[in-house]
Amino acid sequence: MKSRVALLCFLLVAGTIAFGQTPATIEKTEISGISEDSLSAPLRADLQKLVGQNYDEKAAAQIAERIHAELPDYVVTSTTAASTQPGRIVLVFAVAHNINAKYIVESVDLKGTEKSKLSEALWTDMQKMVGHPVDDASADQLRERMAAEIKGSHSRRSVERGSDPQHVRIVYESVSQSSANFSGSGGYHSRQKFSGRANVAYTFYDFVGVRVDGFNDASTLMERYAGYRYGAWTEYKRVRFNAEYSSFRAQWSPGTLQAASATGTSADLYRLRDTIDPSAKITISSGFHVTLGFTASQLQIQVPTSHYESVRTANGNADYKFYLSSSEKHQFSGSYDIRVAGDALGGSATFTRHLFDQNYEWNLKKPAPGTRFTPDGHQIDFNVRLGRITGAAPMFERFSLGDTSRLVGWNKYDISPLGASRMAYGEVTYTNRYISTFFESGSLWNDGQTRVLRNSIGGNLLLGNILHAPTAMRIILNAARPGIGVPLQKNNVHPIFTLGGNI
C-alpha cells in the first residue's frame, strides 16, 4: 500500500514538472541547405508567422511536410537550435539530400593533423559550423581548403555522434599520401628475459607498402628467434596481396634441449629458419576477412648431421569483428586459423594445425577517442583459445603457454619444454585507467597425455596514467606496463615479473 502511495506521489510530481514546463518561444526560423527563395511565397509567409509563437512539434512537422511537397527530392526535417536568450529557440528546417543535415554540429575536430598546420581563417570558418545543422556543401568546401593547405596529403571528412543527443561532431582527417613509420615493441619476462621487435614501414596512398621487421623474441614461440623479415603488400579493391620473406636464427632453452635429448627428438630442433609467405586477404565485409596463403620454410638441422628440411603449408584464416549495438559497448571478435602440410605440397612434415581464438570485449565505459596509448575507460575482456595439431608439426607451429601475454604466472619451459599439440586457454581481464588485472586458466598436452589445468592471476600498472606524466612520457610508461603474474598452486609459488606485453 505504502509503495503504491509513493508511486502515485512520484507520478503526480513528475506530471506537474512535465506539464509545468513553458514551451520555448520561436525566436526565428531558418532554412538550411537551400536558398529560401526556392520555396513558394505562401510557404515563406507561413514560416515567418511561426516567429514569436510557442514551439509546437506538430506544426513544425507540418511545415516540413509542405517543404518536402515543394522539393520532393530533398529530405526535410525540423530541428531546434539554442538561442542566445533563455526560453527562446531557433527553429531550423534542414533541407538536404543527406539525412544527417537535421543534426546540429556540436564541435569540429581534427585527426591526423594539428590546428597549427591550418590557416587561422580556415580554422575559424570550420568553427563557424558549430551550432548549425550539418551542411554538406560547406563542410566539403572546407575539406577542399584543408587539402589545399596541407600539401602531400588528402583529407577526409566524417560525421560522428556527439555527446549530446541530436548533436554531431564533424571530424576532418588528414591522411598522408605516403608515410614512413617506425615502431617498436618489447617485453620482459623474469624467466625468459627480454624480447623485442622493431619495424620500419613505408606506405604509398594506402595502396602499396613495404616493411622491414627486426626480431629478437623469446615470447611467441618455443624458441628464442632473432632475425629479420621483409614484406611488401598491395591492395586492389577487396583483396590485399602480401608477400613476406623472413630469416631467423633459433636459440633453444636448456630445458628444451634437455627434454629433446630425453625424448630422442633432438632432430626437431633447427638452427636456422628461412620462410617465404605469400598470402591474399579478402574483405568479405568490413568486419569479416578471409586470408588464404602458402608458407614454405627451410630449416637447417644439425642432428645427426647438418642438413636442410623443408616445411610447406597451405594456410586459411577467417576473422571477424562486430559490435552488438551501435553504442559499441559489446564487441565480439575472433578468428579460425588452419594450416595444412602434406605430400601434395611437398616438404618433409605432415600435419594439420587448427587454432580457434574468440574474444568478447565489454566496454563499461568507452575510452575517449585518441586515447589508445593512454586508456581511460573501464573494460572487461573474455578470451578463449583452442588449438589442436594432428600429425608431426615442427617446433615453430607447436602451442605454448606461459609467456608475457598468456598464462603469465608460469614459465612455458616448465609447463611443456617441447610445446604441445593441444591447447585450451581462457582469460578474463579487467582494465581501467590505472590498472589491468586478469585471471587466466590454461592447459597444454599432447595426444594421449593427461590434461593439467594451470591457473594464474596477475595485473599490470599503467604507470603513465598513475603518475599523470606528460603525454610523451605517459605513452612510454603506459607501454612499459610493469606487471606480475602469480601461479595458483599450493607449493613452489614463484611469481613472474613482466614488462611490456605481446610483441
Partner 1 sequence: MRTTGIHLRSGFHIGISCLVISMLLWPGLLSAQTVSVKLEGEQLRVSVSQLHFLGSEVLQRLRNGIAVNYVFKVGFTPNRYSKPATVTSYRFVISYDIFEEKFAVSRIEPNPRSITHLSESAAQMWCLDSIAIPSGGLPADQPFWVNLEYQTVEPKPATTETGESLIGQLIDVFSRKAQREEARGTVMGGPFSLTDLRKTR
Stretch of 106-114, 345-353, 381-389, 437-445 contacting partner 1, by CB under 8 A: 345-353
In the complex, the smallest distance separating the C-beta of residue 65 from partner 1, rounded to whole angstroms, is 12
344 binds partner 1 (CB under 8 A): yes
Q: Count how many Cα atoms sit within 13 Å of the Cα of residue 461 in the half-sphere of its side chain.
A: 10
Stretch of 79-87, 160-168, 446-454, 478-486 contacting partner 1, by CB under 8 A: 160-168
136 binds partner 1 (CB under 8 A): yes
Q: Count how many Cα atoms sit within 13 Å of the Cα of residue 36 in the half-sphere of its side chain.
A: 13
C-alpha cell at 111: 585527426
Kindly tell me which of 367 and 391 has the beta carbon lying closer to partner 1.
391
Quick note: the x/- pattern for partner 1 over 378-397, rule CB under 8 A, is ------------xxx-x---
How far is it, in rounded angstroms, from Cα 172 to Cα 174?
Answer: 7
Kindly tell me which of 6 and 121 has the beta carbon lying closer to partner 1.
121
The residue type at 289 = H
User: Residue from 341, 415, 418, 420 that binds partner 1 (CB under 8 A)?
Assistant: 341
8 binds partner 1 (CB under 8 A): no
In the complex, the smallest distance separating the C-beta of residue 477 from partner 1, rounded to whole angstroms, is 33
Coil, strand, or helix at residue 24?
coil
In the complex, the smallest distance separating the C-beta of residue 501 from partner 1, rounded to whole angstroms, is 30
Find out whether 442 and 426 touch, Cβ atoms under 8 Å.
Answer: yes
Q: Which residues of 210-233 are buried (b: 16+ CB within 10 A; e: fewer)?
A: ebebebbbbbbbbbbbbbebebeb
233 binds partner 1 (CB under 8 A): no
For residue 8, count CB atoms less than 10 angstroms from its CB and return exposed for 0-12, middle for 13-18, buried for 19 or more. Answer: exposed
User: Residue from 21, 85, 285, 450 that binds partner 1 (CB under 8 A)?
Assistant: 285
Kindly tell me which of 165 and 254 has the beta carbon lying closer to partner 1.
165
What is the per-residue DSSP string for 431-452? E-SSEEEEEEEEEEE-TTSPP-
Closest CA to 192 of 489, 503, 472: 503
Kindly tell me which of 148 and 476 has the beta carbon lying closer to partner 1.
148
User: Residue from 74, 225, 399, 425 that binds partner 1 (CB under 8 A)?
Assistant: 74
237 binds partner 1 (CB under 8 A): yes
Find the helix or strand (DSSP H, E) in which 141 lies: helix 136-149
242 binds partner 1 (CB under 8 A): no
301 binds partner 1 (CB under 8 A): yes
How far is it, in rounded angstroms, from Cα 400 to Cα 404?
Answer: 12
Specify the residue for cell string 609467456: 403
Kindly tell me which of 153 and 246 has the beta carbon lying closer to partner 1.
153
- Residues in contact with partner 1, counted by CB under 8 A, come to a total of 68
159 binds partner 1 (CB under 8 A): yes
Kindly tell me which of 397 and 440 has the beta carbon lying closer to partner 1.
397
Quick note: the x/- pattern for partner 1 over 76-115, rule CB under 8 A, is ---------------------xxxx--x------------
146 binds partner 1 (CB under 8 A): no
205 binds partner 1 (CB under 8 A): yes
**CB < 8 Å & 24+ apart, contacts of 304-313:** 304/267, 309/270, 309/347, 309/348, 309/349, 310/346, 310/347, 310/348, 311/341, 311/347, 311/348, 311/349, 311/394, 312/341, 312/345, 312/346, 312/347, 313/339, 313/340, 313/341, 313/345, 313/347, 313/353
In the complex, the smallest distance separating the C-beta of residue 392 from partner 1, rounded to whole angstroms, is 4
How far is it, in rounded angstroms, from Cα 166 to Cα 133?
Answer: 10
For residue 5, count CB atoms less than 10 angstroms from its CB and return exposed for 0-12, middle for 13-18, buried for 19 or more. Answer: exposed
User: Residue from 69, 148, 380, 493 that binds partner 1 (CB under 8 A)?
Assistant: 148
User: Residue from 8, 11, 137, 493 that binds partner 1 (CB under 8 A)?
Assistant: 137
Whether a cis peptide bond, with omega within 30° of 0, leads into 304 is yes
Stretch of 21-29, 308-316, 443-451, 481-489 contacting partner 1, by CB under 8 A: 308-316
243 binds partner 1 (CB under 8 A): no
How far is it, in rounded angstroms, from Cα 265 to Cα 204?
Answer: 47
Find out whether 80 and 64 touch, Cβ atoms under 8 Å.
Answer: no
In the complex, the smallest distance separating the C-beta of residue 152 from partner 1, rounded to whole angstroms, is 10
Closest CA to 428 of 404, 459, 388: 459
Helices and strands counted in the chain (H then E):
9, 22
Strand order in the sheet with 88-96: 25-32, 88-96, 75-82
Helix ranges (H only) for 345-499 are 412-415, 463-466, 471-480
157 binds partner 1 (CB under 8 A): yes
Stretch of 186-194, 212-220, 241-249, 276-284 contacting partner 1, by CB under 8 A: 276-284
Kindly tell me which of 172 and 425 has the beta carbon lying closer to partner 1.
172
Kindly tell me which of 340 and 496 has the beta carbon lying closer to partner 1.
340
User: Residue from 28, 44, 68, 388 that binds partner 1 (CB under 8 A)?
Assistant: 68
How far is it, in rounded angstroms, from Cα 67 to Cα 44?
Answer: 10
20 binds partner 1 (CB under 8 A): no
Find out whether 363 and 379 touch, Cβ atoms under 8 Å.
Answer: yes
Residues of this chain that bind partner 1 (CB under 8 A): 68, 71-75, 97-100, 103, 134, 136-138, 140-141, 144-145, 148, 154, 156-161, 165-166, 168, 177, 205, 207, 237-238, 265, 267-268, 282-286, 290, 292, 299, 301, 309, 314, 316, 318, 326, 338, 340-345, 348-352, 390-392, 394
